[in-house]
C-alpha cells in the first residue's frame, strides 16, 4: 500500500513539475495559448495516470485479498493434515503402549510363576510333619491318665403310635 502511494505521488509530481520546467525554458516567442494547451494536455495525462494508478491500486487490493484467502485456505488444509497426522501418531503410540503393557504383564506373570515354582521346589515341609509326630509321641508317653467313661442306657420311648396321612 505504501508503494502504491509513493508511485502515485511520484507520477503526479513529475507530471506537474515537467510542464512547469518546460514552460520556463521555452523562449518568450511562444504564446501563452500554447502554454495553456500544454498544461491542459499535462492535466489530462495526470488524470490518465491517476486513473491507471487507481486501477493498479484496486488490482493490488484484489490480489491481496485473493492471496489472503488462498493463504487461509492453505493454512486450513495444513492444519487438517497436521491434525490427521497427530491423530494417527497418537493411535500408533497407544497401540505400541498397549503391546508393551501386554508384554510386561506376560513377563511378570512368567517371572511370578518361575518364582513360585522355585519356592515350591526349595520348600520341603515334610520335616515339620515329622516334628509334629515326634511331639505327639513325646506327649503321649509323658503322663498317662486313665479316663473312665460311664455309659448309661436310656429307656425306649413309650409313644409308638404311627400316624397315617
pTM of the model: 0.36
Specify the range with the lowest mean pLDDT, choosing from 56-60, 75-79, 124-128, 131-135.
124-128
The pLDDT score that the predictor gives to residue 141 is 62
Task: Check residues 127 and 63 and name the one with the higher pLDDT.
Answer: 63
Identify whether the C-beta of residue 11 lies closer than 8 Å to the C-beta of residue 53: yes
| Nearest alpha-carbon partner for 35 in 46, 47, 20 | 20
Residue-level pLDDT at 91: 92
In tens, the pLDDT along 18-32 reads 655 555 555 555 677
Calculated CA dihedral for residues 1, 20, 43, 30, nearest 10 degrees: -160
Amino acid at each position: 500500500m505504501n508503494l502504491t502511494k509513493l508511485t502515485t505521488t511520484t507520477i503526479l509530481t513529475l507530471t506537474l513539475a515537467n510542464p512547469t520546467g518546460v514552460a520556463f525554458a521555452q523562449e518568450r516567442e511562444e504564446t501563452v495559448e500554447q502554454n495553456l494547451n500544454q498544461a491542459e494536455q499535462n492535466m489530462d495525462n495526470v488524470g490518465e495516470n491517476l486513473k491507471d494508478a487507481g486501477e493498479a491500486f484496486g488490482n493490488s487490493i484484489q490480489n491481496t485479498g485473493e492471496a489472503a484467502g488462498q493463504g487461509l485456505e492453505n493454512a486450513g488444509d495444513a492444519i487438517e493434515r497436521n491434525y490427521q497426522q497427530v491423530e494417527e501418531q497418537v493411535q500408533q503410540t497407544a497401540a505400541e503402549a498397549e503391546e508393551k503393557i501386554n508384554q510386561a504383564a506376560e513377563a511378570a506373570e512368567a517371572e511370578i510363576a518361575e518364582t513360585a515354582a522355585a519356592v515350591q521346589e526349595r520348600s520341603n515341609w515334610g520335616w515339620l510333619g515329622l516334628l509334629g509326630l515326634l511331639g505327639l509321641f513325646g506327649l503321649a508317653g509323658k503322663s498317662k491318665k486313665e479316663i473312665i467313661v460311664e455309659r448309661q442306657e436310656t429307656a425306649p420311648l413309650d409313644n409308638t403310635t404311627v400316624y397315617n396321612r
